[in-house]
Amino acid sequence: MKQLINLIPDLLLVIGALVIVLATFLLNVVAGLYVLGVFLFVAGIFVDKDGIQLGRKRG
């Protein structure tokens, strides 16, 4: 149960991002694609364990 409570902020963040993307798509498809791309880019940075570091070698 405690693990589920720890996930609530992440779930709210994802749901909020989806609502923003959906609302933008309803306004304009191209703008919706831009907003979706920005959210996916930012999500990729947050999911990455070390964040963005210049000169980092993967492997």
d(CA 57, CA 59): 7
Compute CA 41 distance to the chain's CA centroid, rounded to the nearest angstrom. 7
Q: At 16, list the tokens.
A: 């909020």
Per-residue pLDDT tens for 6-22? Answer: 888 888 888 999 999 99
Q: What is the pTM of this model?
A: 0.71
d(CA 41, CA 38): 5
Local mean pLDDT, 10-residue blocks, the chain (59 residues): 81 91 95 94 78 58
**Average pLDDT for the chain:** 83
